[in-house]
Amino acid sequence: MSPPHAAALFLLAAGAVACQRSPTDAEAEALVRRYNTLVTEAYRAGDYRIAQPVIGADELRRLAAHVGVRLDQGLTMDARLVGVEFKKFERKGEEAVVTTEERWHYLDRRIGSGEQVGQESRDHYVMRYQLRKVDGRWLVDSTEFAERPEVGRTEFPDRADPGSLHGVETTPSGGSK
C-alpha cells in the first residue's frame, strides 16, 4: 500500500474511533469500577458529592438521599467491594448497559466514634448499570438490581424510618442500589 493510501486509511480509522457513540467494553468497565470506588467513598465519608464526577443527576439525588438517611441516624456506611465480575455489555446509540455480579461487605459505623452499629452484611448482587453520555462524557445514569439481591444481615438500624426522610422510596425486594 502506498504511503498516501496508508495515511488515508489511518485517518479514516481514527475518524471512526472518534465518532464512536458507545463506550468500549474497557471504557464501560472502567467507569463502573470508578463509580463503585467513589460511591463507596461517599458512603464512608457521609458526603455524596464525592461521587459527583461519575453519576447523572437522578442517580446523584438518590445517592444524596441514601447518605442523608444514614447521617440522620448518626451513621455512615463502611462498604467494601469484595469481588466483581463483568457479565454483559450492551449498547444502543449514546447509551450502554453493563451487567455485573458483585459481592459486597457492609457495616454501619457511628459518626464520631467509628464504632460498629448492628450487624455486618455480606451481600451478593447482580447489577445493571445504565450508562449515558452527558456533555461529552460517560456517566452512570442509573443502577438497578437485575436479580433479587441476597442480603446477609437480618437486622437493620431502626432509629429512623428511611422512607420518611429525604424523599427516599423503599421497596422490600430491592429495585435500586
Cα 9 from Cα 23, distance rounded (Å): 22
**Residue 22 pLDDT:** 86
Q: Reduced to 3 states, what is the DSSP secondary structure of residue 172?
A: coil
What digits encode the pLDDT tens for the residues 89-129? 999 888 999 999 999 999 999 999 999 999 999 999 999 99
- Regions of the chain where pLDDT drops below 50: 6-18, 159-177
Number of neighbouring beta carbons within 10 Å of residue 170: 12
Q: Which three cell numbers stand for residue 74?
A: 448518626
**Residue 176 pLDDT:** 45
Cα 27 from Cα 90, distance rounded (Å): 13
Element at 9 (helix H, strand E): helix 3-18
The pairing of beta strand 95-110 with beta strand 116-134: antiparallel
Residue 96 contacts residue 28 (beta carbons within 8 Å): yes
Backbone dihedral region for residue 61 (phi beyond 0: left; psi -120 to 50: alpha; all else: beta):
alpha
Domains and CATH numbers, the chain: 21-164 (3.10.450.240)
Cα 63 from Cα 38, distance rounded (Å): 11
pTM above 0.75, yes or no: yes
